[in-house]
Structure 1
Amino acid sequence: MDDDGDDIFMRSWTGTIIGPLSSVHEGRIYQLKLFCDKDYPDKPPTVRFHSRINMACVNPDTGLVEGKKFHMLANWQREYTMENILTQLKKEMAAPHNRKLVQPPEGTFF
């Protein structure tokens, strides 16, 4: 998912999530990359956090949102949008199993 200045097909996107209130993520700004291959929207994009984060659905070494652990990607429907993905990830941050996990220092990246 490298940046490609010649991305004429608009396959590479940058997303931002502001951490939800009343969680360890509150006030943090998370940067993500979303990459849509030629099969999008029939297949989900690849989603990778650039900002370090500790979440059950995120690979701790790469920042990749693992489809099997993130319901929206596992059950992808072509009607879903990138905004839906970001919104659902923010909700996942606030979920009981993620909301209190110890986080890497703010401002660190994968």
Structure 2
Amino acid sequence: MLRSSPPAGIIVEPCKSNLHRWNAVILGPENTPFEGGTFKMSLHFPLDYPYRPPIIKFDTRMFHPNVAADGRIALNELRNRWRPGLSMATILTSIRQLLDGPNTAITVNEQAADFYRTRRREFNIIARQAVEQSWRSLYEDERQQALGNENNSAKRSRTE
């Protein structure tokens, strides 16, 4: 269901080799410093999911009050408000909404929180750098995939 009709601005794909791991991309919301960004995330579902929440991290480096340096996300629904009935669509939508407006009550990046509260212009500039990095990261992934495909084709033609 989530794959066939994901929430707006979100792309989700399970890993072929491990169904407990999924990849997602969140598109930066319009009229925010994150607009135009393609932010990669990894989702890991524990064996006892849905009784325990998934571990969700941004793989793309972010400057955001609710995103730690290692990509961990401070979201109530993934912490003390988790319940088995929460859908992944709801969780991913909540994460995207954090890009629209951080929750400064539960921060994991104090520098980003301080900039967001007191130096919004500088916060926006640094956040835009994450958008630019997301473009480079996306391009690099495509380039690596293309190189991998070329190498595989070359290997096949040598063995034929």
TM-score, normalised by the number of residues in structure 2? 0.55
Q: Gaps spanning 5+ residues in structure 2: where?
A: 1-14, 105-112, 138-160
Q: Give CA-to-partner distance per residue, 1:22-51, whole Å, 9 cap, x none.
A: 110001111100000112101110011111
Residue identity opposite 1:49 in structure 2: F
Residue identity opposite 1:72 in structure 2: E
Distance 1:27 1:6 in 2: 30
Distance 1:6 1:25 in 2: 31
Q: Partner of 2:93 in structure 1?
A: 87
Matched, 1:70 2:75: yes
Q: Partner of 1:18 in structure 2?
A: 27
Q: Give CA-to-partner distance per residue, 1:12-71, whole Å, 9 cap, x none.
A: 0001110011110001111100000112101110011111111222112x1122xxx311
What's the CA shift for 1:79? 1.3
Matched, 1:33 2:38: no
Instruction: State the secondary structure of the residue aligned to 1:107.
Output: helix
Aligned with residue 50 of structure 1, among 45, 53, 59:
59
Instruction: State the secondary structure of the residue aligned to 2:83.
Output: coil
Aligned length: 100
Instruction: State the secondary structure of the residue aligned to 1:17.
Output: strand
Distance 2:17 2:96 in 1: 30
Structure ranking higher on relative contact order (CA contacts 8 Å, 6+ apart): 1
What's the C-alpha RMSD, in Å, of the aligned pairs?
Answer: 2.2
Distance 2:88 2:44 in 1: 10
Q: Gaps spanning 5+ residues in structure 1: where?
A: none
Residue identity opposite 2:57 in structure 1: R
Distance 2:42 2:60 in 1: 10
Distance 2:27 2:88 in 1: 15
Aligned-residue sequence identity (percent) comes to 24
Distance 1:84 1:13 in 2: 16
